[in-house]
Each structure stands twice: as C-alpha cells, then as structure tokens.
Amino acid sequence: MAAVHQSVLDAIGGTPLFRLARLGADIAAPIYAKAEFLNIGGSVKDRAALSMVLAAERDGLLKPGGTIIEATSGNTGIGLTIVGRQRGYRVIVGVSDKSSAEKSDILRAYGAEVVLATTSVAREDPRHLFNVVTRLTEEIPGAWLANQYDNLANPDAHVRTTGPEIWAQTGGKITHFVAGVGTGGTVTGTGGYLKEASGGSVTVIGADPESSMYGGGDGSPWFVESIGHFLHPETVEDRWPQAYRSEVVDVFERIPDRESLLAARWLAREEGILAGPSSGTAVAAALRVARELGPDDLVVVLLPDSGRSYLSKVHSDAWMRQWGFLEEGDGLRELLDGAAPLVAVDAGATVGEALEALRTAPGGVAPVALARAARPFGVTATEVVGSVEREVLAAALADGFAKPGDPLGALLGPALPTVGVGQSPAEARAALGEARPGVSVLVDGRVAGVLPRAALV
C-alpha cells in the first residue's frame, strides 16, 4: 500500500529506480534511472531546498516572519517555495531570462514572488541575476539568501538521502553513477557517498554539455538548461560553486546539445519517461559509459526533472526545427551546403576590420557576435548581438561618418532573422520579410551560414 503522509515535506526523496530496458537493449550492463521528477515539486531540487531551509533555521539565519530569497533556474525555486510556504515564510525567486516561461508560472502558482533578471551579461554587471537577488536580500529585513551554489547543506542533502537510497536500492551493486553538474550538489553529495560506501569502487561520471567548463569546454553557451558552467566573455573573475567538489568526479562525458536533446525525446518515446533536457544529457552519458561495461556492472543515472516544464522546448518539434536540431524533409541543407563559408564579425571589431572580413561574406552581410578567444563550438545563436552590411560600412566611410579605426557602434544593424536547417525555403523567405538582407541558418543552435536574399528569392 502506498504511503500516507502528514505533510508534503515528508514526501521528498524516496524516489524509485527504473530499468532503461529499451534504450539499453543491446548493452550488457544494466542501466537504472533514478526518477527524481517524482519528488513532490517535480525535481531533485526538493531535496536540496528542504535541507537548506532546515539548516538555516537550525543556524538561526531564518526566523519566523523571515523571507527566503534565491536565484535559480526554477527547480530550486519550486522546492524552496514549497518548503518555505509550508514553514510559513515569504519566498522571492529570481529567475534567469533564459529559463522557460512555464517555470516562472509554476513558481507563482506555488506562491512565490518572481523577479526576472538577465544572466546574459558579465557576472560583475549590476543587472546580473545574482547581483539583483543579493541587493534584495540586503534591502529586506529578515531576508535569507539560500545561495545553493555555495551552501553546503545542498550537497549534504544528497549525502544523507540520495546516496544511501541508491546504495540500498541496488543492494550495493552499483558500479557507475552518472549525473549532470549544475551547482554540483547532486554529483558531489551522491557521488561522494557512493564512493565512501563502496570503499572507493564506484566510478562517478559527470554528464556535461560539450562547451561547459566543468568538462573542459570554453564556457560558450549551450541549449540544456540547469547544468554546466557558463563563462560570459566579459566576466573578469570566474568562481566555481563551493557545492561542487571536482575530485568526486572521475570522468566527464561531454555531450553535444543534439545528443542530449534527442536522448530526452527517446526517453519519453521508448521508456515512457517524460523528463527534461538535463536528463537527456545524463542518459546520453550513461549510454556512452554503459557500452564499455560488462554484465556485472550496474549503472545508475539520475534524472533531475520532468519534461512537462519543457513542452515548448525540447519536446516541441517546431522548437527543435527552429534551432536546427531536427532535420526532416528537404529543409535548407542543400542551399546551405552551396553557400559560401560563414563569416562572423567580433563585436569588438573596428569598421575597417569588419569591412575586410565582409569581402568574402555571402551577400556582403555577416552576423556580429560576442568576442571569444577561440570558437571551437562556432557562434551560438544566443551570442549574436547584431549584423553588419558591406554597403552600409562603405557608405559611412565614403561620407566621412566613420573612420576605419572606429568601433562599429551605430553601424551595427539588428541581428539577422534565424531559421533552422530543417526549416523550408518558404519559411526562410517568410523570415526574410520585405527588407532584411539575409537569414542566419542554424545547425545545432549555432550559426552555420548566412543565406543572402539573392539565394532565397
């Protein structure tokens, strides 16, 4: 018989394992998924939220009538709101403008006050989400900032609950644990516990977006929410969370966005598990790892949250096509393959440098993107800040409005409309409209090329 609880807080944790029988059908090692989306708030973060609030009460940081504040991609906010409201606190949640709209709606439904702020500026910028919530905490009497990134009660939740649960559920037979790394609380606490319980024999695998810094990427943007370590090119001092202990992770599997997103979609279709994109990254990593193992090994992969918060993203065919993650039918591939190679101009370029770069740009137009030292992952669509046109720059020089050494400044035009490589030429023409000089074509969320107007009409 199912449990009867006196409070929803008693229903946090104790999640089941499911064998991934279909995805792992031709793999010798069994793969089990830890279904964290079955927590009362829908994610693994309920555990960290409960742990952090109880620790703050114990330490006297949170008193009756107090206010809980946090900056979060959403799930920690949901957990903190449920726990906070049940224990009688006001809850204010700062949410990144990159997060899905559904996440903010859910927070408000549970009774949180939502403050939207950007994470697309340098960490030092006062508009940055973290600085906005820090300011609020200083201004509101009795406010406590949960600070999941540096709060050790976050990993501790997993040392006390997630780790022991997995150890007991597998009868101590687990050999490999796979999890994504956001704050690092899950992988550090769970992985650390499992290593200790097994006398060091459990291998811990970090599932990381390919361009995230945890696994060795350059920190340029990716398309899986809530995991990885991003580095804005203008950030001066980059800090890693204290909730994360890098020595717990034995190896990183670096997963390209397309592999993560397709894995999340397969998980729903093949296993009947509708989970979020970070679950896709974890499953993709688990499949890679398990393929190298034998029948005596046992892999546990942690699925952090439900796919219901991403119906307009990874689980939408239209969204997948728009960003160039799905290609079915004719699409723009042939036109793209026939076009000249992409020319992208750095936002810091001078007028003269941009004009030089534009000599080989198809249609004399190029996207302008935030500068990075090297671009091993190409120009992510979200890094594009505008566009430049050869004719506009040449005219400005001829008229004396600009000199070759000037910054692009007012000569920077709006970003080109984007279309996914799987979209049709008719959709590309619609995006072009009456006046735009070309469209940027996205493959895997990155600008793969520009199709000038002449190539489309």
Ligand X SMILES: Cc1ncc(COP(=O)(O)O)c(C=O)c1O
The catalytic residues are 45
User: Which residue's entry shows tokens 């034995």?
Assistant: 250
Instruction: Give the shortest CB-351-to-ligand X separation in angstroms.
Output: 43
Q: Quick one: which H or E segment has residue 58?
A: helix 45-58
Instruction: Give the shortest CB-408-to-ligand X separation in angstroms.
Output: 37
Instruction: Give the shortest CB-99-to-ligand X separation in angstroms.
Output: 10
The four Cα atoms 198, 200, 201, 207 give a dihedral, to 10 degrees, of 100
Q: Is 95 or 298 the residue whose CB approaches ligand X more closely? A: 95
Q: Residue 86's CB: how many other CB atoms inside 10 A? A: 13
Q: Is 30 or 192 the residue whose CB approaches ligand X more closely? A: 192
Instruction: Give the shortest CB-9-to-ligand X separation in angstroms.
Output: 19
Instruction: Give the shortest CB-76-to-ligand X separation in angstroms.
Output: 5
Strand order in the sheet with 31-35: 17-19, 31-35, 299-303, 176-180, 203-209, 251-255
Q: What angle is formed at CA 258 by the lines to CA 255 and CA 261, rounded to 5 degrees?
A: 90
Q: Is 186 or 203 the residue whose CB approaches ligand X more closely? A: 186
> What whole-number distance in Å separates Cα of residue 379 and Cα of residue 384?
7
Write the Ramachandran bin of 390: left for phi over 0, alpha for psi from -120 to 50, otherwise beta.
alpha
Q: What is the CA radius of gyration of the chain?
A: 24
Q: Is 29 or 69 the residue whose CB approaches ligand X more closely? A: 69
Output the CA–CA distances (angstroms, integers) from residue 423 to 14, 264, 312, 334, 456, in the order listed. Answer: 44, 22, 17, 12, 13
Instruction: Give the shortest CB-73-to-ligand X separation in angstroms.
Output: 5
Instruction: Give the shortest CB-228-to-ligand X separation in angstroms.
Output: 9
User: Which residue's entry shows tokens 């950007």?
Assistant: 118
Q: Which residues contact ligand X (rule: CB under 6 A)?
A: 43, 45, 73, 75-76, 180-187, 226-227, 276, 278, 304-305
Q: Is 164 or 407 the residue whose CB approaches ligand X more closely? A: 164
Contact 266, 23 (CB under 8 A): yes
DSSP string, 430-443: HHHTTT-SEEEEEE
Distance of CA 160 to the CA centre of its chain: 26
The four Cα atoms 12, 17, 18, 23 give a dihedral, to 10 degrees, of 110
> What whole-number distance in Å separates Cα of residue 14 and Cα of residue 165?
7
Q: Is 128 or 229 the residue whose CB approaches ligand X more closely? A: 229
Residue partners of 431: CB distance under 8 A and separation at least 6: 417, 418, 419, 439
Q: Is 266 or 421 the residue whose CB approaches ligand X more closely? A: 266
Contact 96, 119 (CB under 8 A): yes
Q: Please give, one letter per residue, the 3-state secondary structure of 202-260.
A: CEEEEEEECCCCCCCCCCCCCCCCCCCCCCCCCCCCCCCCCCCCHHHCCEEEEECHHHH
Residue nearest to ligand X (CB): 182
Instruction: Give the shortest CB-196-to-ligand X separation in angstroms.
Output: 18
Residue partners of 287: CB distance under 8 A and separation at least 6: 23, 24, 27, 31, 263
Contact 165, 171 (CB under 8 A): no
Q: Is 24 or 185 the residue whose CB approaches ligand X more closely? A: 185
Q: Is 188 or 322 the residue whose CB approaches ligand X more closely? A: 188
Instruction: Give the shortest CB-410-to-ligand X separation in angstroms.
Output: 40
CA atoms within 13 A on the CB side of 306: 14
